Amino acid sequence: MWGVLFPGQGSQSVGMGKLFFDEFSVVRETFEEASDILNLNVNKLIFEDPKSQLNLTMFTQPALLTVSTAYYRFLNDILNWDNVSYAAGHSLGEYSALVNSDVLSFSESLKATQLRGKYMQEAVPEGVGGMLACVGIEESEVEKVVKWTRQNFHDGVIEPANYNSQTQIVLSGHKSAVDFILSEFDAEKVGIQGRARFIPLNVSAPFHCSLMEPAQIKMKAVLESLNFQAPNRKLVQNVTAKECRDPQLLRKNLTDQITSPVKWTQSVLNIQKSGVSHFIELGPGKVLSGLIKKIDRENLTAFNIQSLEDIKVLEKELK
């Protein structure tokens, strides 16, 4: 069996999707639809970014949703989806998974992600928050880093935000707490056996932690106004790493996701337990394909669509 995965923030780049925009009318129609809904020239934003807005989260989020939905739509016209039984999205990508599993309309989700980005950016002033990737150590060791930071630094929040793979976990909170780890970390003092690397992330806000509570409160009202339906395939959400079909629970989990960690590793492993061994990443970049290899290189395969040749390869695999 197969699953489809939708990437989140960090996968965006100027020019994303241009090859398929030029090749497929449904992609051009999707961009035009997004432009009309957002009252924004989405083509210009994504292909030229003249005002350097693409990396501003209130623009990034609907832009990525547009591109991922465009990918799904043109592939849906030419591929056999009979064996594609699961869907999941990483953080923002969960909106793409919901749209392309018929849970939410594209129109409603575009407006919601624009507000989501706006509210997240407003929740914490720029420069106050930060995120830090912990690479090379497992969850139990990362927990020691968090505990040690909280014991020795009392002026900032630091929490797990993304469980991306068994040895790549992202922390989120105040930039001061991130800086403390970067400057003061000592493996022996913390009691870590593995070799840890810490990589500060270039983000505009500390996503998926308690500092996002103001954004969560505002988004709760937005999501309560949207019409959620049961998905047309099995859909696994970030907050629980479990399949969910109930529209009300889908809504609650999407709301909780703003302040809760993304349980990506467990999501992928739970999908794998259900018999899925092949994944298709639908969107720009190769972030999720890379994480699939880190999670289980021997037993899982991820296909990433970056060229027309990639489509031909995938078409053969799905027959």
Q: Enumerate the active-site residues.
A: 91, 208
Tell me how far apart the alpha carbons of residues 17 and 13 are, in angstroms, rounded to a whole number. 9
Cα separation, 293 vs 317, whole angstroms:
18
Pairing state between β 234-235 and 84-89: parallel
HEC states along the chain? CEEEEECCCCCCCCCCCHHHHHHCHHHHHHHHHHHHHHCCCHHHHHHCCCCCCCCCHHHHHHHHHHHHHHHHHHHHHHCCCCCEEEEEECCCHHHHHHHCCCCCCHHHHHHHHHHHHHHHHHHCCCCCEEEEEEECCCHHHHHHHHHHHHHHCCCCCEEEEEEEECCEEEEEEEHHHHHHHHHHCCHHHHCCCCCCEEEECCCCCCCCCHHHHHHHHHHHHHHHCCCCCCCCCEEECCCCCCECCCHHHHHHHHHHCCCCCECHHHHHHHHHHCCCCEEEECCCCCHHHHHHHHHHCCCCEEEECCCHHHHHHHHHHHC
Q: Residue 123 has which token pair?
A: 């929740």
